[in-house]
Amino acid sequence: MKDEENILIIGAGLCGSLLALRLGQRGYNVKVMERRLDLRKEDISAGRSINLALSNRGIKALKMVGLENKVKSLCIPMYGRMLHDKSGNTKLSKYSGRKSEYINSISRELLTALLIDEAEALNNVSFEFHQKCDAVDFENNIARFTNTKNGTVLDYEADRIFGTDGAGSTLRKSYLSKRKFLFSFSQNFLTHGYKELTIPATKEGEFQTEKNALHIWPRGDYMIIALPNLDGSFTVTLFLAYEGGKYNFNNLNSAEKVQNFFSKEFPDTIELMPDLTTEFFKNPTSPLGTIKCFPWQYQGKNLILGDAAHAIVPFYGQGMNASFEDVFEFDATLEAHNGDWEATFKAFQIKRKKDTDGIADLAIDNFHEMKDHVASTSFQQKRTLEMSLETALPNTYFSKYSMVTFREDMGYNQAMLLGRAQDKAILNMIEKKQLNLELPAIELHEKIKAETNSILKS
Amino acid sequence: MKDEENILIIGAGLCGSLLALRLGQRGYNVKVMERRLDLRKEDISAGRSINLALSNRGIKALKMVGLENKVKSLCIPMYGRMLHDKSGNTKLSKYSGRKSEYINSISRELLTALLIDEAEALNNVSFEFHQKCDAVDFENNIARFTNTKNGTVLDYEADRIFGTDGAGSTLRKSYLSKRKFLFSFSQNFLTHGYKELTIPATKEGEFQTEKNALHIWPRGDYMIIALPNLDGSFTVTLFLAYEGGKYNFNNLNSAEKVQNFFSKEFPDTIELMPDLTTEFFKNPTSPLGTIKCFPWQYQGKNLILGDAAHAIVPFYGQGMNASFEDVFEFDATLEAHNGDWEATFKAFQIKRKKDTDGIADLAIDNFHEMKDHVASTSFQQKRTLEMSLETALPNTYFSKYSMVTFREDMGYNQAMLLGRAQDKAILNMIEKKQLNLELPAIELHEKIKAETNSILKS
């Protein structure tokens, strides 16, 4: 049965490649069509999303396909946020009070290449590149591709089509443009955009600043962050408004203005980024958008997942993790329904939607937290308290960050509801001086639990 | 100056016609292009949105163009909701405790025809029909039209373009499809659809049931409503889920099943609707969607308004009123900015967006209120209390419904915030038996105000 089933995956990014590998492992015939070049053979253009944060939910899915160890060698652990103030002072704010909990900087390119290699090694999975999907007739399950090298147009019919073609998904656009298909859809942009820059390695290939941290320069209305790469460099991202305020992407229109902005706001980065102004004008400024939609599937014939179904802003480091968890959940649902596609597609979208809505909202919250709140006193008091509770009560206390990032057994939605209430409880009690930090951890936890529950009930 | 300015309005519905009239009165040269036929000369297809509820916000805009009296002759006042239970008992729940406050049933066709007549009577305003807008190059302000009678294609360039082309707006779609334009957009469908039916007049042209009311048959998961027409008939609308539950649009697939559904659930309508099953299968089932987006304009060159910018569900009877209020607000903004289009467009969208978001959310709330809550005891207690307060304190007490519907001096957003808190306050206090209804109105009002304020602050 399975080897008669003809599966098409549109998009060989992280989500599509992992899905191809998993369905291949399950014995299905899988063809993956990718718009871009084969990143294993040709140089991809730099300047966008070079590295990513891999954490427990993503690792859970990589374990499922047996790649946990191979992936480990690509990872650089980041144990906390290294905060840089305007005077160049730094302070490490750890992600968890449990030693085993940290996030990992990983190269999008290397991880994707690994997944494609592993999938292609199966004789029932194949990839084609330079195949741009122009449209999907989702009622008849026929996708049209143009070969971007020679212009050949091909109609490809499949028993199942998966759209893992990212935030600009062609399959999703075909859902949206069909008038009789009641497709709820939203796209919302932040007023900020982002631009990637680089802190290169030293001549000796060493890191110029602390390797095992996610660096943040929080400045209220804007920020820069930096994540380490295996070659000793850091990928730096500037998040800044397109317009308004003193500095914005529209008015930073000369090398002098850019240099002046960084000198004033991020002085300790100046000597780390010799190519700052060149890169600034060479690299694109990209928007930050959230996409939500429903349904994700049509009559058990085709399904969107990953960014195609739920593109989120990057501030919780959960974009890739959420997409990988999609594949994990999809696989479990397929298993539970004995390969009945229609039942699987329907159950999957229902179960998964509330969790991806949750992480979308959490990621927007974290934008404000990272550029602004992390620098505030009460936020830092909360984090200090939470670190000590997680250290003292490793099996029972979990901060919102820990629930979202390290609790792969808990859905994003639950992590959001519980985590938001707990944050509010702690900040309220700190503000009203109702928390005597001298008390034993277990008593503090009881107080926080009681306040959290009362917030959850109100 | 003004007569050199070349204005194009896409869409001669209620909003576009009123806008054309107003801009014409201000001396601008206005061309209106409409996809459909001239409804003054040809018969429009029935079966969709035949009558509408006109209330204070709409009347405010009609006063502005001097049409208040002409419109009055088209109106049938509706003083309250006439609730029909399953046994055929009826109960009138008034809209306000003030005698002067009621809503009006009005024909979409007659009102649109009046607005077009009035606009066309100005020598600087002209209309063309059968002109389907295919696309708008909004950066260069060129709109492409196909004449649906002879197939002629025309590119029309204008100094200003207004998209009043409804929920399926072509100008809005051109904003959405332009990748570099950061256009936030959402469309969300209810799981219910609607279908229009008719209670005809008697042979003598008389109304078969109470003329001056909006009739509701609330049944929890579904409902029908009926609004009077000048010819003695009522336009009936069934709101029902597409799938799920005992009855839905998908499973009501035979005359027998439809007849059985109405006999069981709405028995008193059976003899009022002799053509029920014929109409049921002839008339379309239409979806109920909410559209929100932002921005509404591009560089002062073009602007969407009315349903094109904010389509809402019909349950507050505010769709037309909100569109008319758009024109009123737009006119005031244009006046305030001395005809500076770019400043006007920018100020208008900022001021108006929060109010149209508000009415969109209120309209969804009211869906649940109408099909379900109106039949509950505590809701009815609240309405009785509010009627007596509005009667006793006509200048100071306003229910949420009154604020939304009759307070044309108050924005929808404020009406929503205040009205929701007040509703919650009253229902809480009724539930906890904290309201002694024997108390003087002024004391009850003080208690409600205190509880409302405490909810607003929390």
Same domain as A148, residue A10:
yes
Q: Which two tokens stand for residue B19?
A: 């806008």
In a domain, B82, yes or no: no
Q: What pLDDT score does A45 carry? A: 57
B70-B72-B73-B76 Cα dihedral, nearest 10 degrees: 160
Q: How far apart are the CA of B413 and the nearest CA of chain A, in angstroms?
A: 21
Same domain as A63, residue A161:
yes
| Interchain proximity B184–A187, CB inside 8 Å | yes
In a domain, A243, yes or no: no
Same domain as A332, residue A447:
no
Measured between beta carbons, which residues in chain A are less than 8 angstroms from residue B287? Answer: 182
The shortest CB-CB distance from A189 to any of B182, B287, B289 is to: B182
- Residue B376's contacts (CB-CB under 8 Å, 6 or more residues apart) are none
Instruction: Give the residue from B170, B174, B183, B186 with the most A CB atoms within 10 Å of its CB, the best one to mutate.
Output: B186
Within an 8 Å CB–CB cutoff, is residue B187 touching chain A? yes
Instruction: Give the residue from B177, B178, B185 with the most A CB atoms within 10 Å of its CB, the best one to mutate.
Output: B185
- Residue B139's contacts (CB-CB under 8 Å, 6 or more residues apart) are B298, B301
| Interchain proximity A187–B189, CB inside 8 Å | no
Q: Which two tokens stand for residue A81?
A: 């946020």
Same domain as A152, residue A37:
yes
In a domain, B96, yes or no: no
Measured between beta carbons, which residues in chain A are less than 8 angstroms from residue B189? Answer: 182-184
Choice among A336-340, B41-45, B89-93, B291-295 with the minimum mean pLDDT: B41-45
Question: How many structural domains is chain A composed of?
Answer: 2
CA separation for the pair B290, B310 (Å, rounded): 7
Same domain as A111, residue A130:
yes
Within an 8 Å CB–CB cutoff, is residue B178 touching chain A? no
Within an 8 Å CB–CB cutoff, is residue A384 touching chain B? no
Out of B363, B391, B413, a domain closes at: B363
Q: How far apart are the CA of A375 and the nearest CA of chain B, in angstroms?
A: 26
Within an 8 Å CB–CB cutoff, is residue B186 touching chain A? yes
Task: Give the confidence band of B48 by pLDDT, cuts at 50, 70, 90.
Answer: very low
B260 closest CA partner among B247, B273, B244, B245: B247
Same domain as A325, residue A447:
no
Q: Which DSSP state fits B407?
A: -
In a domain, A171, yes or no: yes
In a domain, A257, yes or no: no
Measured between beta carbons, which residues in chain B are less than 8 angstroms from residue A189? Answer: 182-184
User: What's the whole-model pTM score?
Assistant: 0.87
A-to-B residue pairs, Cβ atoms closer than 8 angstroms: 31
Out of A336, A367, A398, a domain closes at: A367
In a domain, A213, yes or no: no
CATH of the domain at A296: 3.50.50.60
CA separation for the pair B253, B256 (Å, rounded): 9
Within an 8 Å CB–CB cutoff, is residue B428 touching chain A? no
Residue B148, φ and ψ in degrees, nearest 5: -75, -10
Within an 8 Å CB–CB cutoff, is residue A376 touching chain B? no
Tell me whether residue B226 is exposed, middle or buried, using C-beta atoms within 10 angstroms of its C-beta: 0 to 12, 13 to 18, 19 or more.
Answer: buried
> Can you give the residue range of the structural domain that contains A64?
2-44+55-74+107-186+289-367
Same domain as B200, residue B59:
no
| Interchain proximity B187–A188, CB inside 8 Å | no
The shortest CB-CB distance from A189 to any of B184, B188, B287 is to: B184
Same domain as B404, residue B323:
no
Same domain as B151, residue B8:
yes
CATH of the domain at B195: 3.30.70
| Interchain proximity A186–B189, CB inside 8 Å | no
| Interchain proximity A184–B183, CB inside 8 Å | no
Within an 8 Å CB–CB cutoff, is residue B188 touching chain A? yes
Q: How far apart are the CA of A176 and the nearest CA of chain B, in angstroms?
A: 10
In a domain, A266, yes or no: no
Q: What pLDDT score does B376 carry? A: 83
In a domain, B15, yes or no: yes
| Interchain proximity A184–B188, CB inside 8 Å | yes
Out of B311, B335, B363, a domain closes at: B363
Task: Name the residue of chain A whose CA is nearest to B191's CA.
Answer: A182
Q: Which two tokens stand for residue B313?
A: 């569900």
Tens place of pLDDT for every residue, chain A, 458 residues? 576 789 999 999 999 999 999 999 999 999 999 999 998 887 765 444 589 999 999 999 999 999 999 999 999 999 999 999 999 999 999 999 999 999 999 999 999 999 999 999 999 999 999 999 999 999 999 999 999 999 999 999 999 999 999 999 999 999 999 888 899 999 999 999 999 999 999 999 999 999 999 999 999 999 999 999 999 999 999 999 999 999 999 999 999 999 999 999 999 999 999 999 999 999 999 999 999 999 999 999 999 999 999 999 999 999 999 999 999 999 999 999 998 999 999 999 999 999 999 999 999 999 988 887 777 888 889 999 999 999 999 999 999 999 999 999 999 999 999 999 999 999 999 988 888 888 999 999 999 999 999 999 87
Instruction: Give the residue from A173, A177, A185, A288 with the most B CB atoms within 10 Å of its CB, the best one to mutate.
Output: A185
Measured between beta carbons, which residues in chain B are less than 8 angstroms from residue A242? Answer: 182
Instruction: Give the tens place of pLDDT for each residue, B181-237.
Output: 899 999 999 999 999 999 999 999 999 999 999 999 999 999 999 999 999 999 999
| Interchain proximity B182–A188, CB inside 8 Å | no
List, as own/partner pairs, every contact residues B187-190 make where C-beta atoms lie below 8 angstroms and the sequence separation is at least 24, other chains included: B187/A183, B187/A184, B187/A185, B187/A186, B187/B289, B187/B290, B187/B291, B188/A184, B188/A186, B188/B289, B188/B290, B189/A182, B189/A183, B189/A184, B189/B287, B189/B288, B189/B289, B190/B287, B190/B288, B190/B289, B190/B313, B190/B364, B190/B367
Pairing between β-strand A125-128 and β-strand A29-33 as defined by DSSP bridges: parallel
Within an 8 Å CB–CB cutoff, is residue A428 touching chain B? no
ipTM of the complex: 0.80
* Contact between residue B64 and residue B324 where contact means Cβ atoms under 8 Å apart: no
Task: Name the residue of chain A whose CA is nearest to B180's CA.
Answer: A287
Pairing between β-strand A125-128 and β-strand B214-218 as defined by DSSP bridges: unpaired
Same domain as B195, residue B181:
no
Same domain as B119, residue B155:
yes
Same domain as B446, residue B427:
yes
Confidence check: pLDDT of B45 > 60 = no
Chain A 219-258, CB below 8 Å of chain B: which residues? 242
Instruction: Give the tens place of pLDDT for each residue, B231-255.
Output: 999 999 999 999 999 999 999 999 9
DSSP symbols for B113-136: HHHHHHHHTSTTEEEE-SEEEEEE
